[in-house]
Amino acid sequence: MSEIFDKPSELDRRTLLRRAAAVGLLATPAVGMLSACASGGGDETQKQSTGQKSAENPLGIDPKAPVEIVIFNGGFGTAYATDVHTPLYNKKWPDSKVVYSATEQISTVLQPRFNAGTPPDMVDNSGSNLMDMGALVKAGQAADLTDLYDAPSWDDPAKKVRDTLVPGAIEPGTYNGKPFAMNYAFTVFGLWYNSKLFAKNKWTPPTTWADFTALCDKIKAAGLTPFGYAGANASYYMVRAIMTSAAKIGTEQVLKDIDNLKPGAWKADAVVKAAQAWGEVGNKYTNKAFLGLKHTEVQLQQDQDKLVFYPCGSWLENEQAKDTPPTFEYAVTPLPSVTTSDQLPATAINAAAGEMYFAASKGKNPQGGKEYLRAMLSKEGAKGFTKLTKSLTVVAGAADGLDLTPGLASANKMLSAAGKDAFLGYLFDSWYKKLDDESRSAVNELFFQGGNAQKFCERMEAASQAVAKDSSITKFTRS
Amino acid sequence: MRHGKYPFIIGFLAVPLALYGTFVVAAYVQVFQLALTNWSGLGPVEYVGFDNFVKLWHDDLFWKSVRHNLFLLIFLPIVTIFIALVFAFLLNVGGGFKGGVTRGVWGSKVYRVIFFFPQLLALAIVAVIFGRVFAPDRSGLINGLMPESFQPWLFLADGRWALTCILAVLVWQAVGFYVVLFSAGMGSISHEIYEAAALDGANRITLFFRITVPLLWSTIQVAWIYLGIAAFDAFALVNIMSVNRGGPDGATSVLAMMIYRNAFEFSQAGYASALGVVLFFLTLTFAALTLRVTRREAVEF
């Protein structure tokens, strides 16, 4: 035994050091973890269950096969799945067990399973760690939902599922003409403010840019920050504001060109004008410190009446529910018209279906996953969702008769005022993550770091063309 | 017992080596293979030769990240080792020479514990805490201490200083450990040497540079390499603390952050693997160079 230890010269400090360094080196974390999720097999599909198609069972599921669902545990919580949708599904299919799990890290938990060929049947692909939907579609991992949308709806067999939804509900989940993801929550975007603060100061929500800047001057004079967003992690709220303004100036075609990576799309007159207008707001009416703050911190400042306007979606009220004092009542107004010759009216808004759900094509029971989606798209399922999450859904008229909170009521009012001028917006952020990333940095530069509209547009144009030229990125188009 | 030597060694090493081979070496080999593909992270794998490396060569963010890693590589070891050495010296020798033994400054036992505290905190928690310390408005610890008329510092929101803020946190977290490491090294330096030097009239500064540092050289070398490897990482802090994760506008981007984002967010696992290969060779080069450059005969005592 002693021989192992009594020859220090064999293992002197230097050798030990060299070995230790080598070990430390090989343990450099980020490198090794990549291949931990490298694909093993990929092509072989596990045995899938199906059943006889009938009027009662339009998707042809096996009534006895379990269906596995994974829910993102985020702003909407998970109660809507466990307390509303699952019981609803089980009422119709009592023998089909719903295997439920929830996670905050969708990609970390599920990507290895997709690569191993053993995905769950239905996934709520949301949150900041969501899987790249475009890549999933390209890899053939998402099931085509055409049969789901063409199936009779849960409540009324005479109506197809697609006819029970609000206009524009299916398009965001469509990839090259086919639907692969079901976007469930319906979100309306605008400028959020405290209606009680406005009433107290006799301010009115602006509709023209001149009104807006005049009001901002007044707010600034009152010692508050007129407008701001969180640069540290939520700059895409501001990207949306600029894009929305650009669409109001030059119609949604501006955004379609951007999504289609059309050369010159980012240098279009409408985009330049929108960037100019908002860049000026950044110069004059914001707090530069917001660049270093997270969305929760900025939203809290709004709740404390330190910040007046905040560009956001209709989830805001629910997200802030715990921090909203009684002196604060959320209300929302459309982004004011930038020019007097805007092609869309001042009431036009960006309203889009978000929170993606999809059935995995290589799951054990993809049809069961679709049937679960069909249950979610029922009136009862949608109503339960709205009640629990304070968010509207893509199911038309499902919120009727519900007692809405002030912010949601205001959003609902804004949506009906917009009518046919509610537009879907843009999809490049979910199609091309790299372009999304560039837009976040570019908008921060424009707004907080002394950039200007021309720089912003040139930078985005260059990034867009780089994506267009990159053959390793799957391209999508919309019309 | 000579006959039992090899089974004994093999018995100890088989399991760790198998684990290491499977989860580290095999993973590395696969990264080299994936670097030659345009694999998205999902689905089929297609070989594209050295395209990823060509793309990388023309990627501004890549060069920016390399520069940031080099910045950390230079300053993290220098600053940390300097501070740790000074503290360790003060804790062990700084109190002067009394009754035949050298001693630390008054209260050195308490300081030693305090300096080690940061080491006990998980890096993620450190990052969150310093996110508050560096908050760019009055709610921040530092800005909150400033007088009312003062324009708050932006810290992480200022592209010129963001990386320095990250460096400061890395140093703060690392110093405690190296104070302990150097203290242990100093403990093994015999008192007679200090005694003799003190009798010759050496002051504390001379003691530090002429006695302590040369006799601690090999420990400092270890510290240098460990800190260098830490400088190639810095992922956790950048991920949690920085604006837009690696921003503002790439001002804090490091290679590990780029790898993570390309692999798990941009669905470009092939490109991320190419970055991983580059990082591998950079780290290897660094370790080899450091060992070569700092080679010096150890002082026998």
Amino acid at A52: Q
**What residues of B are in contact with residue A435 (Cβ under 8 Å)?**
none
**What residues of A are in contact with residue B31 (Cβ under 8 Å)?**
31-32, 34-35
Question: Is the per-residue pLDDT at A320 higher than 70?
Answer: yes
ipTM greater than cut 0.90: no
For residue B132, what are its two tokens? 């508050």
CA atoms within 13 A on the CB side of B239: 15
Question: Is the per-residue pLDDT at B178 higher than 80?
Answer: yes
Question: Is the per-residue pLDDT at A369 higher than 60?
Answer: yes
Total residue count of chain B as it appears in this document: 301
B11: helix, coil or strand? helix
Question: Is the per-residue pLDDT at A168 higher than 80?
Answer: no
Distance set, CA B67 to CA A31, A438, B72, B228, B253 (Å): 19, 20, 9, 14, 9
Residue A41 — very low, low, confident or very high, per pLDDT cuts 50/70/90?
Answer: very low
* Cβ neighbour number for residue A16 with a 10 Å cutoff: 11
**pTM strictly above 0.80:** no
**What residues of A are in contact with residue B248 (Cβ under 8 Å)?**
231, 291, 441, 444-445, 448-449
Q: Which residue of B has its CA nearest to A4?
A: B5
| Cβ atoms B84, B179 nearer than 8 A | yes
Amino acid at A115: N
For residue B178, what are its two tokens? 């190296």
Which residue from A410, A391, A402 is spatially nearest to A318, judged by alpha carbons? A391
Q: What is the mean pLDDT of residues B229-238?
A: 88
Place of tokens 């030597």: B5
Residue A127 — very low, low, confident or very high, per pLDDT cuts 50/70/90?
Answer: confident
Residues 6+ apart with CB under 8 A from B20: none
Nearest to A441 among B232, B249, B291 (CB): B249
Roughly what angle, to the nearest 10 degrees, separates helices B255-264 and B269-293?
Answer: 160
pLDDT tens profile A411-447:
888 888 887 888 888 888 888 888 988 899 999 999 9
Compute the C-alpha angle A463/A468/A471, nearest 5°. 120
- Choose between A401 and B71: higher pLDDT: B71
What per-residue confidence (pLDDT) applies to B43?
Answer: 73
Question: Is the per-residue pLDDT at A123 higher than 80?
Answer: yes
A309: helix, coil or strand? strand
Q: Which residue of A has its CA nearest to B44?
A: A139
**Helix boundaries (H) for A81-169:** 86-92, 106-116, 133-138, 146-150
Cβ of A34 within 8 Å of Cβ of B136? The answer is no
Cβ of A437 within 8 Å of Cβ of B233? The answer is no
Compute the C-alpha angle A267/A270/A271, nearest 5°. 50
Residue B248 — very low, low, confident or very high, per pLDDT cuts 50/70/90?
Answer: confident
For residue B228, what are its two tokens? 């260098």
Amino acid at A332: V
What per-residue confidence (pLDDT) applies to A458?
Answer: 93
**What residues of B are in contact with residue A36 (Cβ under 8 Å)?**
23, 27
What per-residue confidence (pLDDT) applies to A142?
Answer: 92
Compute the C-alpha angle B251/B256/B261, nearest 5°. 80
In the predicted model, what is the mean pLDDT of chain A? 85
Cβ of B40 within 8 Å of Cβ of A131? The answer is no
The CA distance from A377 to A394, in Å, is 8
Cβ of A35 within 8 Å of Cβ of B244? The answer is no
Nearest to A289 among B41, B154, B267 (CB): B154
The CA distance from B270 to B274, in Å, is 6
What per-residue confidence (pLDDT) applies to B300?
Answer: 56
The CA distance from A377 to A182, in Å, is 10
| Phi and psi at residue B63, to the nearest 5° | -65, -35
| Cβ atoms A291, A231 nearer than 8 A | yes
* Cβ neighbour number for residue A83 with a 10 Å cutoff: 13
Cβ of A444 within 8 Å of Cβ of B137? The answer is no
Cβ of B271 within 8 Å of Cβ of A293? The answer is no
pLDDT tens profile B79-104:
999 999 888 888 887 666 665 566 77
The nearest CA of chain A is from the CA of B110 a distance in Å of 31
**What residues of B are in contact with residue A5 (Cβ under 8 Å)?**
none
Q: Which residue of A has its CA nearest to B222?
A: A17
Nearest to A1 among B1, B243, B272 (CB): B1
Question: Is the per-residue pLDDT at B1 higher than 80?
Answer: no
| Cβ atoms B223, B110 nearer than 8 A | no
The nearest CA of chain B is from the CA of A412 a distance in Å of 32
Q: What is the mean pLDDT of residues A314-329?
A: 88
Roughly what angle, to the nearest 10 degrees, separates helices A433-448 and A269-284?
Answer: 50
Cβ of B235 within 8 Å of Cβ of A29? The answer is yes
The CA distance from A9 to A4, in Å, is 12
For residue A372, what are its two tokens? 């679960």
- Choose between A32 and A45: higher pLDDT: A45
Cβ of A25 within 8 Å of Cβ of B284? The answer is yes
The CA distance from A249 to B127, in Å, is 43
Sign of the alpha-carbon torsion through B198, B202, B206, B211: negative
Which of A160-174, A180-194, A424-438, B147-161 reaches the highest mean pLDDT?
A180-194
Type and span of the H or E element at A385: helix A379-389
Question: Is the per-residue pLDDT at A192 higher than 90?
Answer: yes
Terminal C-alpha separation, chain A? 78
**Pair type for strands A330-333 and A392-393:** unpaired
